[in-house]
Chain A
Amino acid sequence: MSKNKVSIHNLSVDQISNLSRLLALALIIVLGVIISDSFLSVENLTNILTNASVLIIIGVGQTIAIVTNGPDLSSGSILTICAVLVAILMKSFGIPYPIAILAGLSLGALIGVVNGVMISKVGIPSFVSTYGLMWAVFGFAYVLLHGYVLYDFNSSFRFIGNGSLFGFIPMPIVIMALVVGLGIFVMTKTTYGRRFYAVGTNSVCAKMSGINVDKTVILAFVSSGFLSALAGIVLIARINAVQSDIGSNYLLSVLATVYMGGASTEGGEGTIQGTIIGALIITIVYNCMNLLAVPSEWREAVIGLLIILTILIDSFAKKRAEKTII
């Protein structure tokens, strides 16, 4: 029956999409191996995964936002200001680090509320409102730090970034794994995840099915803000320093990560698993660039190009899929 044919084909389209991403990842790994003999060493791979952890943590939050409504362009700035807050509380006010961390995470969630309200209640599209908020938040981060660089944190705090569990698993990877595990659980096995996807695929239908669309959107951006803050905390624990522009690289790379992971510019599509692949691809690309001694000026151009290629390929794949199904 033609219906069965269509459905098998449909499953294939999804699978093809995931497979092509894994293929891209494999290609990049092959490139890495070509460039450096020690690419596949445990040390290098652990290094890559540790570097990717921050990106993955912030990427999980971004995935939720993009699935539900649209990108959170302010996540890099939230990362920055929460990291700055935590650092200042610890260093200038001597506040114990657990409380400082809590404050930082709360700030991230709070900014997420502001984002969510602007988008759902005021009605400003996410890419305008989060973009604008980004500049304001960066400005405030700059105020807080007064242009200084803070460094040399409490060693217990630094354990989050430098320490390892059982002696060999770096803490960032542990935290990343927890975040990913929780994220996948929420998105696939809870009613919250269902609501995110429902609002993202068809918000009119969601509303008429009794889902509180505004609340869901706000929750999505709170998640993104919270996880951006967490990513910032892990980051400064690792590099043991903070300055007011540490988050500025993350805007493009986070978006590239999530869109490479299969998210759609129209919302409703995207998985955390895909985001992980995207983050790995980007981290390895950066890694290769370092190995090849490509000057850091090329980073932005490369990421920009990757983003464009990703959405181009995605668009072609979708159009072909639609043609064959009909």
Chain B
Amino acid sequence: MNDSSFLLEMKEIVKLFPGVRALDGVDFNLKSGEVHILLGENGAGKSTLMKILAGAYTPTSGEVFIEGKQIKQFSPIAAQKLGIGIIYQEFNLVPYLSVAENIFLDHMPMKHGFMVDSKKMHLEAKKVLQSMNMNVDTHALASEIPVAQQQMVEVAKALTHNLKVLIMDEPTSSLSSREIEHLFETIRRLKAKGIGIIYISHRLQEIPEIGDRITILRDGQFVDNRMVKDMGTQEMIRLMVGREIKDLYKRDYNPCGELMLKVDNLSSKKSGLKDVSIEVHKGEIVGLAGLVGAGRTELVRAIFHVDSFEKGQIIFKGKKLEKCLNPTEVIDCGISLIPEDRKSQGLSLALTVKENVVMASLDKLYPNKKISEEKEKEVVSNYVKELGISTPSINQHVKNLSGGNQQKVVLAKWLCTKADLIIFDEPTRGIDVGAKGEIYSFMNSLAANGKAIIMISSELPEIIGMSDRVYVMRDGKMINSIDRKDATQELILSYAMEGGREGADNE
């Protein structure tokens, strides 16, 4: 049963991944000619829902109807045929082909059977672009035109496939305000053609300008669906985060010791960091909050000297760190970084547990270069026991372990280096609740033993539950630091999102 006045209907969508319930019975619908905002925190399920629509995922259960007809097959090409177009944040163009060729990539007009009808292609391309009031040189290579125009080319490409539903994921994140104006004009033109647009964005101030209706998701569940004009910014934030903080976080808050890390005015053009300062004390857990792309990972990578930076200084345990250090020396000083992506950066999946655990401490453990099997067995087994890593043996290949156990192996690796400052980048992402609790209690005991911890997380309850202080970043800048007693989800999010609050200096 479906309501055919809707262009698109998604009913009771459930999507399960191993160990994670990404979508829990979500409803979503779209009218023809409307801009429907999809709002939610990182991990709320927005991109999962849209990937199902775009054919990248198949729903575990639930139904999707477009123009009244049910979608039976979920594949990107099927979605394209049905008139569903998606524009990701990272564009999908071929860099060294022209704009026209990108637009008509899979259906180039031909002449004489085997030749590409270049003239016709460029003519048609120009037509499509002009219908969007865009004046892009169709002969320019996709890599040569500015980002805003690349986006328009993606829209044009979607239009040539009989576009009915357009999904835009964070479309304005790399645009100037003039380019945003132009984008909105284009969107209005698409609306006039009857195309429905699903618009994902974290920029609250844009929503009233361009949105007609808004749906809010939270933790994979549908929260609310209203007309944009009936909802204020503060209420949006409240609905995004309104959840109870479970009593998962065990922290004994002890008084903090001396200053361990002091970062002053760090700036890096390449990473987009602007004048960032941060302090961490012994025995302290400092939370680093912000949206994806705010610069948190970039900041810790600069501290760890994986990425370089131009201005600013880092003082660790009273000594200034040289700018040209590399991770090897930084690890020697006593800093460790547990990266965001444990599979591609934190671990060597093809190697065994024991090989991964000792990887960062090879010279420390084996000063005469020879590996002592007994010592290795002892050291690694200790960590396996201490952290509760579930593995048949220390010779097990890491790729066969569950996510939670893999993360524990990464943690063991860095504990093995006897670091004093441990940086966690999204430590509990993709991990089941049980393992999460264990990791929290380790962090707690590490802090109790005098280590300093920086924790990057996109899970607000986690940040609030574990941190002594919370720093909030946005757009490469450090906006503010909030004490534990003042930290609420709304406050953090309002600093993290544009259109929310400004930093301490600006209030």
Q: Are A206 and B350 within 8 A (Cβ)?
A: no
Q: Which of B58-66, B254-262, B360-368 contacts A (4 or more CB under 8 A)?
A: B360-368
B326 touching A10, Cβ below 8 Å = no
Please, which residues of chain B bring their CB within 8 A of the CB of A3? Answer: 390, 392, 400-402
List of A residues within 8 angstroms of B351 by Cβ = 197-198, 201
**Chain B 327-349 interface 0/1 with A at a Cβ cutoff of 8 Å (1 = within):** 11011100001010000111111
Contact status B400-A191, CB under 8 Å: no
Given A208-B306, A210-B328, the answer on whether A195 and B348 have CB atoms closer than 8 Å is no
**CA distance in complex: A209, B390 (Å):** 23
- The distance from the CB of B406 to the nearest CB of chain A, in whole angstroms, is 12
Q: In chain B between 387 and 416, which residues have their CB closer than 8 angstroms to a CB of chain A?
A: 390, 392, 396-397, 400-402, 413
Verify B371–A194 contact, CB threshold 8 A.
Answer: yes
With contacts A10-B400, A194-B355 taken as known, whether A268 is within 8 angstroms of B369 at the C-beta atoms is no
Interface centre among B355, B359, B360, B396 (most CB of A within 10 A): B359
- Whether B359 and A190, one on each chain, are in contact in the complex, defined by CB atoms closer than 8 angstroms, is no
Please give the distance in Å from B268's CB to the nearest CB on chain A: 18
> In whole Å, how far is B413's beta carbon from the nearest beta carbon of chain A?
7
Which residues of A are found within 8 Å of B330, using beta-carbon distances?
210
How distant is A18 from chain B, measured CB to nearest CB, in Å? 15
Q: Are A192 and B337 in contact (CB under 8 A)?
A: no
Contacts A192-B369, A209-B413 given; indicate if A4 touches B347 (C-beta within 8 A).
Answer: no
| A201 & B362 in contact (Cβ 8 Å cutoff) | no
Expressed in whole angstroms, the Cα–Cα distance for A198 and B348 within the complex equals: 7
Contact of B355 among A6, A190, A197 (CB under 8 A): A197
Selected from A190, A197, A202, A325, the residue in CB contact (under 8 A) with B344 is: A202
Set of chain A residues within 8 Å of B401, measured between Cβ atoms: 3
**Given A10-B397, A192-B369, 18 further pairs, Cβ under 8 A:** A6-B400, A7-B397, A189-B371, A190-B369, A191-B370, A194-B358, A197-B351, A197-B355, A198-B351, A201-B349, A201-B351, A202-B344, A205-B344, A206-B348, A208-B306, A209-B413, A211-B359, A325-B400
18 A-B pairs, CB-CB below 8 angstroms? A3-B400, A10-B396, A190-B366, A190-B370, A191-B363, A191-B371, A197-B348, A197-B351, A202-B347, A205-B344, A205-B359, A208-B304, A208-B306, A208-B327, A209-B359, A210-B328, A211-B359, A325-B400
The residue from B331, B348, B392 contacting A202, defined by CB atoms under 8 A apart: B348
Cβ–Cβ contact A210 & B344, under 8 A: no
Q: Out of A189, A190, A192, A205, which one reaches B345, CB within 8 Å?
A: A205
Q: Please report B residues at the A interface, Cβ cutoff 8 Å.
A: 304, 306, 326-328, 330-332, 337, 339, 344-351, 355, 358-360, 362-363, 366, 369-371, 390, 392, 396-397, 400-402, 413, 417
The contact of B348 among A6, A7, A201, by CB within 8 Å, is A201
Among B332, B337, B366, which residue has its beta carbon within 8 angstroms of that of A208? B337
A202, B402: Cα distance in complex, Å? 19
Report which residue of B362, B396, B401 has the largest number of chain A beta carbons within 10 angstroms of its beta carbon. B362
User: Contacts A190-B370, A198-B351, A210-B331; is A7 near B359 (CB within 8 Å)?
Assistant: no
- Are B359 and A198 neighbours in the complex by a CB distance under 8 Å? yes
Question: Is A207 on the interface with B (CB-CB < 8 A)?
Answer: yes
- Contact B326 A212, beta carbon cutoff 8 Å: yes
- Mostly helix, strand, loop or mixed at chain A's interface? helix
A195 to B351, CA, bound (A): 12
Within the complex, what minimum Cβ distance (angstroms) separates B499 from chain A? Answer: 35
Task: Tell whether A190 pairs with B348 under 8 Å between CB atoms, given A3-B390, A208-B339.
Answer: no
Chain A residues closer than 8 Å to B346, beta-carbon distance: 205, 208
Are A191 and B362 in contact (CB-based, < 8 A)?
Answer: yes
A58 to chain B, nearest CB (A): 25
Residue interface bits A200-231, CB-to-B below 8 A is 1, else 0 = 01101111111110000000000000000000
Distance (whole angstroms) from the CB of A17 to the closest CB of chain B = 13
Are A204's CB and B392's CB within 8 A?
Answer: no
Tell me how far the C-beta of B276 lies from the nearest C-beta in chain A, rounded to whole angstroms. Answer: 21
Contact A207 B306 (CB under 8 A): yes
How far is A194 from B373 in the complex, measured between Cα atoms in Å? 13
Measured between C-beta atoms, what is the minimum distance from A283 to chain B in Å? 30
Q: Taking CB as reference atom, which chain A residue is nearest B359?
A: A209
Asked if A207 and B369 make an inter-chain contact with CB atoms under 8 angstroms apart, the answer reads: no
- Chain B residues with CB under 8 Å of A314's CB are none
Closest chain A residue, CB of each to CB of B342: A205
Docked-complex contact B327 and A210, CB < 8 angstroms: yes
Give Cα A201 to B350, complex, Å.
6
Bound CA–CA A285/B4 (angstroms): 71
CA distance A207 to B330 in the complex (A): 12
**A269 CB-CB contact with B under 8 Å:** yes
Task: Return the chain A residue nearest B367 by Cβ.
Answer: A191
Q: How far is the CB of B349 from the nearest CB of chain A, in Å? A: 7
B338 vs chain A, min Cβ distance (A)? 10
Please determine whether A269 and B359 come into contact, CB atoms closer than 8 angstroms: no
Residues from chain A with a CB closer than 8 A to the CB of B331 are: 209-210
Q: Nearest chain B CB to A35's CB is how many angstroms away?
A: 39
* A189-B370, A195-B362, A209-B360 known; A269-B402 Cβ under 8 A: no
A211 touches B369 (CB 8 A): no
A268 touches B347 (CB 8 A): no
Nearest opposing residue in chain B for A190, CB measure? B369
Contact of B396 with A7 in the complex, beta carbons under 8 Å: yes
**Within residues 62 to 119 of chain A, which ones have a CB less than 8 A from any CB in chain B?**
none
Q: Are A191 and B366 in contact (CB under 8 A)?
A: yes
* Residue numbers in B under 8 Å from A268 (CB-CB): 348, 350
Of B332, B350, B396, most A-chain CB atoms within 10 Å = B350
On whether the beta carbons of A207 and B327 are closer than 8 Å, the reply is yes
The 7 closest A-B pairs by CB, nearest first: A209-B360, A210-B331, A201-B348, A202-B348, A210-B328, A191-B362, A201-B350
Output the least CB separation between A196 and chain B (Å): 11
CA gap between A201 and B400 in the complex, in Å: 16
CB proximity of B222 to chain A, nearest CB, Å: 31
A204 to B359, CA, bound (A): 13
**Chain B minimum-CB-distance residue to A6:** B400
Q: How far is the CB of B424 from chain A (nearest CB, A)?
A: 14
Q: How far is the CA of A202 from the CA of B398 in the complex (A)?
A: 13
Which residues of B are found within 8 Å of A325, using beta-carbon distances?
400
Query: Which residues of the partner chain B approach A204 to less than 8 Å between Cβ atoms?
Result: 344-345
**Residue in B closest to A215 when the chains form the complex, CB atoms:** B328
Chain B, Cβ-Cβ closest to A191: B362
Contacts of A10 in B (CB 8 A): 396-397, 400
Distance between A318 CB and nearest chain B CB, rounded to angstroms: 12
Q: Which residues of B contact A205 (CB under 8 A)?
A: 344-348, 359
- Closest CB-CB distance, A294 to chain B, in whole Å? 39
State in angstroms the CA–CA spacing of A325 and B359 once bound together.
26
Question: What residues of B have a CB within 8 angstroms of the CB of A6 in the complex?
Answer: 400
Q: Are B400 and A7 in contact (CB under 8 A)?
A: yes
Distance in angstroms between the alpha carbons of A207 and B326 in the assembled complex:
9
A208 contact set on B, CB distance < 8 A: 304, 306, 327, 337, 339, 345-346
Chain A residues within 8 Å of B358, by CB:
194
Residues of chain A from 260 to 276 with CB closer than 8 A to chain B in the complex: 268-269
